[in-house]
Amino acid sequence: MTGQGGLDVAVAAALPVDDVMARLGGTGGGLSQAEAERRLAAVGPNSLRTHRARRIAVLARQLRSPLLILLAVTAAASFFLGEPTDAIIIGVILTVSVGLGFFNEYRAEKAAEALHSQIRHRCLALRDGGPRLVDVVTLVPGDVVKLRLGDIVPADLRLVSSAGLECEESVLTGESLPVAKAVEPVGPDRALAELASCALMGTVVHAGSGAGVVVATAGRTEFGRIALRLGDRHPDTEFQIGLRRFSMLLVRVAAALTAGIFVVNLVLHRPVLDALLFSLAIAVGISPQLLPAVVSTSLAAGTHRLARHRVLVKRLVCIEDLGDIDVLFTDKTGTLTEGRISFARSLGPDGSPDDRVLELGLLCNEAVVSGRDGEPGRSASGNPLDVALWDAPAAALRPGPPGRRLAVVPFDHERRTASVLVEDDDGRMIVTKGAPEAVLARCTPVADRARAVLEAEFTAGNRVVAVATRRLTGEAARRTTLSQADEHDLAFRGLLVFLDPPKAGAEQALRRLAGLGITVKVLTGDNPAVAAKLCADLGLPGGRVLTGQDVEAADDSRLAALIEQAVVFARVSPEHKARIVRAQRRNGLDVAFLGDGVNDALALHAADVGISVDAATDVAKDAADVLLLEKDLAILADGVIQGRQIFANTMKYVLMGTSSNFGNMFSAAAASAFLPFLPMLPSQILLNNLLYDSSQLAIPTDNVDPEQLRRPSRWDVASIRRFMLFFGPVSSLFDFATFAVMLGVLHAGPPLFRTGWFVESLATQVLVVFAIRTRRVPFFRSRPSLPLTVAALSVVVLGAVIPVTPLAGALGFQPLPGPFFAVLGLMVVAYLALVELAKRRFYRAAPETLAGGGRTAAHPTHRRAHRFSTVAAALAAGRPPSAPREGDQGP
């Protein structure tokens, strides 16, 4: 594939940059906006996924049940064989049932579409000769893209420049070690892992920076081919896999009941069509027909509730991911501390105040200062410690840095130092500033008194930066360049001390997270003693403090063991953070990482759930799955609770379907074997099921008991099966009691019998939700939500009223005698009381219904592919998306 439509990445890797540019019709300055739009219309968006609510697709999911289709076909046959009334009633009920599911699921799909339309993943590209933030889905072959630390490479690129660029390509090759990149072409026919002159879509910039020309987009990239082979739909989460397993359990039960009922009715010489309709209606009645609608409604409602709690999710399934969190790794600044770092004092080597150290700190400073000295609008931005130094009152009183900077070696997380070459009245000197351990290691011997002063500041929990210098003499005094190799034989000059007090409310938020079963661990570049002091002050449990050196020295198996012993990880680099997160995930736990800096991007990508904040760097926000509008652990706790509430409320629907609903269908099957008539007509069974399902659509609004939120819950189909076999017979017991009343007391004929059992079965299977929704005593110790209460009671009343409406005759009902309702009331009370007793016994015998989680091997690829997605049909036609709303993240 060549030309403006793109170029195969393996071919591009072997060609010089000029040849690649010539084939693509591009230049080093990028494309014009008009040309980019023309190419976008020709080659299509750089997209691997679509997020568009399609009515046909949602309707197809409602109709794909084989049981539903078979019942509809059988009802149609009944219509043409002389029983039009029953067939029409069944058809109407099926239509309403499908319509109810369609309406709720489509509404949830629209909510998901609206959510995705607000999310923009952008990158820095050259357009019209200058850098511009553009949506990754609008990239086209010939675009020139800038790459920075933590970026996800947005397309297959042929590199045109590289400054220490390294990419982590595990999503493609499975290798976790980063790959060094260069501009020089490689040989022909190289393997994917050997394309050093290219940066591949979906990989992560691990170190350095660079730029590249886009040679392939979307499904024409190496990553795109893999993602498209996995399918367009996102993989099922563990939550969705559990739903499917539960549904298959009920399908197997329904199949067994259907076959048994059909055979029994044939043996009893009943009409084949009636027997088939009845058995299929039983199967439909026991199937969890509205379960997808309940789940979708829960997720859609969850996004709105999370937004009210100042939490934004990029995908609906992120809500489930939040609820699954077992371990949270977080940085320290702004999360556990106030994040407003202030300069306290400058100390000489002996611990006495020394303003000269402050002057040196201002010389070796990477803050970007706008405005002139003394101007009201003067401000600084950049590294928080450097900004705090500029903003300090003591700095404002200084006349200005006593020297002129000639060269700079910026701070990086490997050296943990920054240096400048300065010229002053006495000549030229090197000033180095950074982490005390790193600076002291580059100094000539330091007095014990100076080390004691440093330890005292660490013990007090203060943040400390060391300053050292080396005066240049002889030939070196005329140099104008500086490198990392010059950071040696320095003279220790003193310390800069900063304050960052514990955050108000952090201790309470940590207690909330601990109460939710989440283990919080701290990853920080700060000193071990400072980090440990802060964590102790906030009440985090003690444990071993690991450093970056410990992480570096341990292999993967040893690191996994060390992680279990530690709460604080100090002096860790971005790569250390990502490695720690990966090791914790290999221990089988769901891991979240909260960070807001460029140095956090690798760990955000490595976590199951990446969490950032609205005020974070663009790179961190782009890497995250969840955004907090405030950097507050209490807000995160709210998000976790929402995720767990959705699971808990979905389980209520599941347990309803496996208790009273299953019991009623089993009763119908059993009754058909000994009664001389069908215990309930197929249309009545379907109406019963429709009303029951309608009452359960309010479950997503229900309150959840605190004990159900204390830790992540997992699916356990074996426990659900036990629940069904335990509570189903309880429901059937009262069904048989109803049979006895109708036949032995009221001497009911078929219409009255069916009416009485319809009303009783609907009342018991709907009202039992109040007992099953909680392990506590209902109403007294656990109150349901008002919508659920109203919905349940309304359906019960409606079921009791239907037999006296004009529809009764068509549905096969007749009015019930007054004494029946007195008996019904007693039976409902007795049934709920027995369920309460059975519930206590069941949960004493099996107190936990939890099982291990897990994710498919394709999960990382699907998660990465999610950023290359489109929503609007306009983009599929080649038109760029509308401008993102203010506040959307950048690259």
Question: Active-site positions?
Answer: 331
Buried b (16+ CB within 10 A) or exposed e, 777-808: ebeeebebbeebbebbeebbeebbebbeeeeb
d(CA 642, CA 770): 21
Paired tokens of 699: 């479950």
CB atoms within 10 A of CB 234: 20
Q: Write the DSSP symbol of residue 473.
A: -
Asked whether 643 and 853 are in contact (CB, 8 A), the reply is no
Instruction: Report the SS3 class of residue 686.
Output: helix
> Can you give 65-115 as a three-state secondary structure string?
CHHHHHHHHHHHHHHHCCCHHHHHHHHHHHHHHHHHHHHHHHHHHHHHHHH
Rg of the chain over Cα atoms, rounded to whole angstroms, equals 34
DSSP 765-778: HHHTHHHHT-SS-B
d(CA 414, CA 412): 6
Distances (CA, A) of 443 to 121, 369, 408, 490: 45, 30, 19, 4
Residue with tokens 């767990």: 644
Paired tokens of 15: 């060609």
Residue with tokens 């400390």: 464
Q: Would you call 80 exposed, middle or buried from its count of C-beta atoms within 10 A (0-12, 13-18, 19+)?
A: exposed
d(CA 630, CA 616): 10
- HSE, CB side, 13 Å, CA atoms: give it for residue 353: 4
d(CA 135, CA 865): 15
Asked whether 163 and 181 are in contact (CB, 8 A), the reply is no
Helices (H), 460-524: 506-515
Q: Write the DSSP symbol of residue 200.
A: -
Which residues are paired to 466 by β-bridges?
434, 495
CB atoms within 10 A of CB 240: 16
Residues 6+ apart with CB under 8 A from 612: 594, 595, 596, 600, 604, 620, 621, 623, 624, 626, 627, 628
What ranges make up the beta strands (E) of 320-416? 327-330, 342-347, 368-370, 379-381, 404-409
Q: Sign of torsion, CA 630 633 634 640?
A: positive
DSSP 132-196: EEEEGGG--TT-EEEE-TTPBP-SEEEEEEEEEEEEE-HHHH---S-EE--SSPPPSS--GGG-T
Strand arrangement of the beta sheet that strand 519-523 belongs to = 311-313, 626-628, 609-613, 591-594, 327-330, 519-523, 566-570, 544-547
Q: Would you call 468 exposed, middle or buried from its count of C-beta atoms within 10 A (0-12, 13-18, 19+)?
A: buried
d(CA 722, CA 726): 6
Asked whether 688 and 758 are in contact (CB, 8 A), the reply is yes
